[in-house]
Structure 1
């Protein structure tokens, strides 16, 4: 089989199998084994075993279940509710205060979870009813929750960046450093957008919250201090070079268990539910990782890397246009696929091309996480919309949710353009902290 035929079989076959309901992991893995058998013979099937074993024994991969376990434990405690209540007492009486509180919680949760589903569900349960009760503009409220809840892909410890680092064979710590400024700058842009819109049109936030009890020492100790301490210790371990990413994740889980225990919330049921959810999430990630990695290994063995590299570098365009083409592919695939499938199917092929063009793969990782921000919000399969719909009132339809997200998608695309034009925005921090 020629490389052109192999490309058609693998790419077309994956989309065909997914269209009829076969999960990506099994679609990619089965096609990889089938193609390798007919092209190279039965002995090459051992390549699948070698690929899976190499991934399963990767030390840095241990950080993924640990960070997911930390996030699931926090989801099941009342810590997020206490944080919301504490911030509500500070900002709630101000005009637009609930929107401000919601975005602050988004940043807090992004900085400790690394995943987006739980954040959006939590915000949908805690913040959306408050904003609806205070007659906030419905579309603005929905956009704040979905865009703010999606920050977990950018703000460390992002699971997206961890998997990217393992796949692209680059330092996860440097990826975290590179995404720190863009992630918090994107959150600041959301704040600025809300402030400008509410200033120009005060009717978007017509009713400040009623006066509540004053902010107390108990609010600080129960709502703010635990999460702030958790974030500072995890960030300090990672950015201070004290521990590896995996060790920092272990410390984060230990601290989370201590915090929940001190709050009197830890019990066997919570621990069992958190471990079960973690196992389910990791199972999905690992199966997709194994299937997609095997497919890419077979494709590269067939000459796919050379074929795609020659085809892309042979285009008579500037290198930055090639990068923009890759971003467009990410966004198009994001309309139909989850982030992990996109990452595992494209990054092993694209990163060598990026390096050949003279760009830094760390910077490219920040671009990838930004495009996944857009994909999380974009119809028809934007995950953020479906997460919110699962807890939103019946009158809030998917059409309403998607119609609410386009201003935030434009902000994300604007940031993507800034990162393309000024790579040093992402690379400055890793350079000075070498």
Structure 2
């Protein structure tokens, strides 16, 4: 067994050397795969790399990815965050925890039209942080709840991570999107529950009270939510009702985002160019990672490593729960060094045989993986949301990580909730199939 698993040590050593030297993740994956092919196979490496990269990058399903990213970039440059805060604050003010709930609800709403954790954080944060500071909300709660709630951008559809997972494991993107709705809302509810409890326990929770509004005034302020809710209905509703595929819905989203930006007066030639460049940079980064991961999967397949590792795990006779706990720890550790998308594409070639052999539903496992890699967004030293928050607020990294730690623990609790109640992820896709949607 040791000889069969020897390649994994070589792969890991080369990978960590490349990553530690500052090489881009996608190029590091290509380098490891090239090294493995040269060392363990006699197949022409150039031909294999050319074929697999073309095959992995020419997927029609993958077309949804840059379109959803472009939609998020356009919306980031609108007054959407200001409008959301105006529309949400009257309804949140009387809840235990007050306007801190706008961080969670705002991230939940924007996640439904973004798909990106970073875009969600920047869009909601650029309005909520100054407003909450002005009202004297505790800084650690403002920072922590926003950093944690922004990870909902990875869960609530359209999720870029779910698209990548679906493409990598050849699973329906629409089914994965449907599966992410209930867990995403449950996780948001857990975040809001934490805010309600901590607001009662925190000794320095003394925000300025909000002026009371009549029900009619609250409804009037809610008109600011109409544009984003309409866009959500167009994008998500078109998929769930069977009118459009994920790629077609993404195209509708881009058109809707442009219309929204034009109506708000924020669609200028420069903002359009900036959104295109931003979407191109992000899409190219993800495409390079996917290409590298596809080549690495091929390389490891030739060595027989995934099958050997799956057989070794099987020989340990782990129960389903023990296997999931091992994967939970594995992904948490991996998330300290890689972003969520990189973690997914890097590991699926090895993890897929394990979960297939254990009889774990691939739709459910996709949601499990997304919750776990969400944690990577707020775990140092690589947690991307921590860097975004640092740039936005000027706080030290250790302060932001400490403020976000309770949200990390809530995500861990969400993993156990998913394991205990798998129907949270599987009931809705099954129900939609039964009624023919």
Same fold, judged at TM 0.5 (above): yes
The 1:217–1:180 alpha-carbon spacing in structure 2 relative to 1, beyond 3 Å, is closer
Following superposition, the deviation at residue 210 of structure 1 comes to 5.1
Corresponding position of 1:400: 399
**SS class of match (1:377):** coil
The 1:411–1:53 alpha-carbon spacing in structure 2 relative to 1, beyond 3 Å, is same
Following superposition, the deviation at residue 203 of structure 1 comes to 4.3
> Structure 2: which 5+ residue stretches go unaligned?
none
Corresponding position of 2:273: 272
Following superposition, the deviation at residue 92 of structure 1 comes to 4.4
| C-alpha separation in 1, matches of 2:218 and 2:269 | 31
Q: How does 1:109-120 map to 2 (within 5 A)?
A: 109-120=110-121
Q: Does the CA contact (< 8 Å) of 2:81 and 2:126 recur in 1? A: no
Q: How does 1:98-137 map to 2 (within 5 A)?
A: 98-137=99-138
The 1:171–1:212 alpha-carbon spacing in structure 2 relative to 1, beyond 3 Å, is same
Render the CA deviation track for 1:238-276: whole Å, top value 9, x for unaligned: 111221111111111111111211222211101000000
Following superposition, the deviation at residue 170 of structure 1 comes to 1.0
| C-alpha separation in 1, matches of 2:399 and 2:405 | 11
Following superposition, the deviation at residue 386 of structure 1 comes to 0.9
Corresponding position of 1:428: 427
How many pairs are equivalent?
Answer: 431
Q: How does 1:100-249 map to 2 (within 5 A)?
A: 100-201=101-202, 203-209=204-210, 215=217, 219-221=221-223, 223-249=224-250
Q: How does 1:291-330 map to 2 (within 5 A)?
A: 291-330=292-331
The 1:342–1:216 alpha-carbon spacing in structure 2 relative to 1, beyond 3 Å, is closer
| C-alpha separation in 2, matches of 1:388 and 1:426 | 30
Q: Does the CA contact (< 8 Å) of 1:95 and 1:206 recur in 2? A: no
| C-alpha separation in 1, matches of 2:390 and 2:212 | 30
- When structure 1 is superposed on structure 2, of 242-251 and 308-317 the one drifting more is 308-317
Following superposition, the deviation at residue 91 of structure 1 comes to 3.9
Corresponding position of 1:285: 286
Render the CA deviation track for 1:323-354: whole Å, top value 9, x for unaligned: 22112111110011111221111112212221
Corresponding position of 1:33: 34
- When structure 1 is superposed on structure 2, of 198-207 and 305-314 the one drifting more is 198-207
| C-alpha separation in 2, matches of 1:90 and 1:5 | 59
| C-alpha separation in 2, matches of 1:36 and 1:316 | 31
Q: Quick check: 1:252 aligned with 2:253?
A: yes
Following superposition, the deviation at residue 201 of structure 1 comes to 4.2
| C-alpha separation in 2, matches of 1:240 and 1:202 | 48
Corresponding position of 1:414: 413
> Structure 1: which 5+ residue stretches go unaligned?
none
**SS class of match (2:22):** coil
Render the CA deviation track for 1:34-66: whole Å, top value 9, x for unaligned: 331343336243221111111111001000000
- Superposed CA RMSD in Å reads 2.1
Q: TM-score, normalised by structure 2?
A: 0.93
- When structure 1 is superposed on structure 2, of 62-71 and 201-210 the one drifting more is 201-210
Q: Does the CA contact (< 8 Å) of 2:90 and 2:218 recur in 1? A: no
The 1:423–1:90 alpha-carbon spacing in structure 2 relative to 1, beyond 3 Å, is closer
Render the CA deviation track for 1:127-182: whole Å, top value 9, x for unaligned: 11222222211211111111111111111111000100011111111111111111
Q: Quick check: 1:385 aligned with 2:394?
A: no
Following superposition, the deviation at residue 317 of structure 1 comes to 2.2
Render the CA deviation track for 1:336-373: whole Å, top value 9, x for unaligned: 11112211111122122211111101111010001012
| C-alpha separation in 2, matches of 1:121 and 1:341 | 21
